[in-house]
Structure 1
């Protein structure tokens, strides 16, 4: 999180409290406290309005942040800083097109402002203009002096482009900077044992993989236990996303526990999960790609009663991820997009949505809502194991299904995640995944139209096979 601007009209202690609440992710309290305090101040003070917009922005209240930023710019028309903050809020609200327009005004007044060019590259990339974005980042990288604070951001953003261009190792080396920028969200500097480095002989050593990022990231990186095991190590892992129960079924992981218990584990080296390909010096084709998770056998009878074997093709649907993820508006697919699928009488549809997004299910829809039974990640794994196919937006459920070896179709946004950056409909990370890539920002119909005939063919094949069994 970039430091918030200091406001002379607000007590320093209060501002420190707001920043602390944002760091510990108590966003609702930060917002409520700020609103109470601002109610006593002038309502059209642009500095206070700008501060409020940035607190709302960091607190994930993106639409409200955009509205406040728009009011700020009306009070300060043409102000570059207000335009810059408005662009950030517009982008976070899922409108990179508006953000680009706002940032153009900033760059017209300050054409060499590095932060503005870096952000503009993000907005351009989000709309599918990859080469234009790449050239912008190279321009900034070449212009900045060595040691400049913005260079790390530039290099991190270039990592995605390098992977897209087939330079996997170089790209992953850049993405590793995400930890320094505090992007991955879990840090382990308090561990007393050394960090695993390249070329370390791991034979007979206990290696602790420390989970980072979101739940999907921990699922993605649990696979690297296989590589450590093949080199003679004893792989272990701590989860910071409460996935220890699920990951206990991961291939070649000897011990899995929560991050809070890491101090009680005996190990020789630890390694940040997002660094695994780089530390192990793996190229894209060397990444373990087969199924490496399994659902707990103790839950299978429960889920076989809910999703019986045989009969119609059984398809799980997931359309939205965690709304607190800053790119959720880019990856989430409206439930209504599935409408053309749901007309098929030869398919049984099951919702894998839990918590937010369930309310989008249309009353009378043939989709069976499983949310009340999806109590744990282990439940999700068992439910998926009973399905024939999972269709998902780019969420952790897509990674879970693929790690279980389940046929998975992913609605892939234009500005997709790094593991989908290599071109094509197949992924080196998961052999059972097919990527349906968005062609136009905010439009998903191309993906759906590609899926529809394939889904119909699967349902016909399933129906034919069941008829043959009955005969």
Structure 2
């Protein structure tokens, strides 16, 4: 064998030191040996040094334009989170060789990371065309099909991947994720454990197992899985974030809040928040006397309402100005919170402040525990003019019950938290003497069709913003809803609200095994689903409670 063949053989055998020495010897003989430069770069990638790999592969490309070189450059750039440059490298590789499966595959992985699932699907389908016997390609395709809701196709692709390679740990991991999405939790657990049996150091499988176990309430088993994922990869922000949700759900707030900061890391696989490029710093708990602070929007409408309770506390720290950036739908409601000086609805026109913060970082800075939640209610208010308007839209007499049975479909757990339609609430119609008011956005036709025999006052389509919602809820006797923003509107107003909670993936803020909420003391009551996907028993419990509540309410009149 010549020297290059010796180097490649050592490289393939995993003898990186020997391979590196041989490649460098080749370069001492021929400084323009592009293959040796490229493969030295590959060694640097294998060692976890992508910047060094980038330099070497770029040098190789100056001597020869090569699709494989360009693909590995894309990998090196991607490892440094240079996503745009990485994508450009993969696409350039495909210009050199449109049939290079590795370039299509790496491009698909990058597109998944940058949340472009439809494009990723096309890339992975191209890989399966080029390499129909590649278990990895079918597994990747199945994963992205599952993320886009094409569950039957996803399952077929993943089963095919495992048929091609039964010992493919990643395939079992992806299959476990899909089985969880289709509510086959026992089978999902088995698939994830099989992945770990095949690869005991598979951090992603530990994270996914922890996520599954946490979702079905087996927190004591889930926690070690997250811890193991972090032992294997201390920089694994998805696992750190998921661990924080478990700690929050189990009431271990002091441990949870610092880990919860992972939610806006640039390395989160499903990041929905971006750190702003302001010239002034993020608030880390520094003294606020005489300082201005701006709160930026994050997560859902309900989160913004729930954590508005901290604004009076910030003002109490001596801040000269508290500004809140929010969606226009929230502006008029948040303007009623004590301590708020400015409400800004254009996130591109935020004036200079001393500090900025995300609202859900405030509990960490204030050292919030379950026992020290700022729970004074109400902390939002209905505007008098809005109250007058909606008073004329509501029934003048009787007990008035607001209903919301669906949240936004884009919510990660909406499949479990929302009801199929209003007909699921039919047992409530048996309670006499009540007037039901639909506050459901965009569901007017469904309401009329699914609630036959039960008149509803339809207000959802007329609501313009959350100040309208607050003005209606303030004049209702009770609101019954799934876990969506209206629960926080009612709670923040201090108005009675019964929240229906799913068995799978119940949100951390409602804690565990409680029928009340320390976030909204005396206002919010919780009705928990007892069986996955089955609301019947829960709704019967609500109907029973409603009869008692209605009888008590009438006796007071």
Contact in 1 for aligned 2:104/2:123 (Cα 8 Å): no
How far apart are residue 96 of structure 1 and its match?
3.2
Structure holding more helix per residue: 2
Inter-partner Cα distance in structure 1 for 2:109 and 2:389: 45
Q: Secondary structure in 1 aligned to 2:460?
A: coil
How far apart are residue 316 of structure 1 and its match?
1.4
Residue 452 of structure 1: aligned partner: 543
Point out the more displaced range, 275-284 or 88-97: 88-97
Provide closer, same or farther for how the CA distance between residues 364 and 218 of structure 1 changes in structure 2, counting only shifts above 3 A. same
Contact in 1 for aligned 2:169/2:195 (Cα 8 Å): yes
Residue 469 of structure 1: aligned partner: none
Inter-partner Cα distance in structure 1 for 2:330 and 2:157: 38
Matches within 5 A, 1:141-180: 141=230, 143-144=231-232, 148-150=234-236, 152-180=237-265
Contact in 2 for aligned 1:18/1:30 (Cα 8 Å): no
Q: Secondary structure in 1 aligned to 2:392?
A: helix
How far apart are residue 411 of structure 1 and its match?
1.4
Provide closer, same or farther for how the CA distance between residues 41 and 412 of structure 1 changes in structure 2, counting only shifts above 3 A. same
User: Given the alignment of the two structures, is residue 463 of structure 1 paired with residue 551 of structure 2, yes or no?
Assistant: no
Matches within 5 A, 1:16-415: 23=114, 30=119, 34=122, 41=129, 48-59=137-148, 65-66=154-155, 68-74=157-163, 76-77=165-166, 79-141=168-230, 143-144=231-232, 148-150=234-236, 152-180=237-265, 181-182=267-268, 185-198=272-285, 200-233=286-319, 234-239=321-326, 242-258=329-345, 260-261=347-348, 263-289=349-375, 290-311=377-398, 313-335=399-421, 336-355=423-442, 359=446, 362-366=450-454, 367-414=456-503, 415=505
Provide closer, same or farther for how the CA distance between residues 36 and 427 of structure 1 changes in structure 2, counting only shifts above 3 A. closer
Unaligned stretches of 5+ residues in structure 1: 467-471
How far apart are residue 207 of structure 1 and its match?
1.2
Contact in 2 for aligned 1:358/1:371 (Cα 8 Å): no
Kindly indicate whether structure 1 or structure 2 has the higher relative contact order, using CA contacts under 8 Å at least 6 residues apart.
1
Residue 441 of structure 1: aligned partner: 532
Q: Secondary structure in 2 aligned to 1:218?
A: helix
Contact in 2 for aligned 1:128/1:440 (Cα 8 Å): no
Inter-partner Cα distance in structure 1 for 2:469 and 2:145: 33
- TM-score under structure 1 normalisation? 0.83
Contact in 1 for aligned 2:290/2:318 (Cα 8 Å): yes
Inter-partner Cα distance in structure 2 for 1:105 and 1:358: 47
Figure out how many residues of one structure are paired with residues of the other and give that number: 455
Q: Which has the larger radius of gyration?
A: 2
How far apart are residue 334 of structure 1 and its match?
3.5
How far apart are residue 16 of structure 1 and its match?
5.7
CA distances 1:177-198 after superposition (whole Å, capped 9, x unpaired): 2221545622233111121122
Provide closer, same or farther for how the CA distance between residues 383 and 259 of structure 1 changes in structure 2, counting only shifts above 3 A. same
Residue 60 of structure 2: aligned partner: none
Inter-partner Cα distance in structure 1 for 2:327 and 2:239: 28
Inter-partner Cα distance in structure 2 for 1:253 and 1:444: 40
Inter-partner Cα distance in structure 2 for 1:365 and 1:69: 46
Unaligned stretches of 5+ residues in structure 2: 1-78
CA distances 1:327-346 after superposition (whole Å, capped 9, x unpaired): 21232233443121122231
RMSD: 3.6
Contact in 2 for aligned 1:18/1:34 (Cα 8 Å): no
Residue 9 of structure 2: aligned partner: none
Provide closer, same or farther for how the CA distance between residues 257 and 15 of structure 1 changes in structure 2, counting only shifts above 3 A. farther
Contact in 2 for aligned 1:66/1:93 (Cα 8 Å): no
Match of 1:424 among 498, 514, 527: 514
CA distances 1:142-189 after superposition (whole Å, capped 9, x unpaired): x43xx6333x33333232333344432221222122221545622233
Provide closer, same or farther for how the CA distance between residues 30 and 247 of structure 1 changes in structure 2, counting only shifts above 3 A. farther
Contact in 2 for aligned 1:211/1:218 (Cα 8 Å): yes
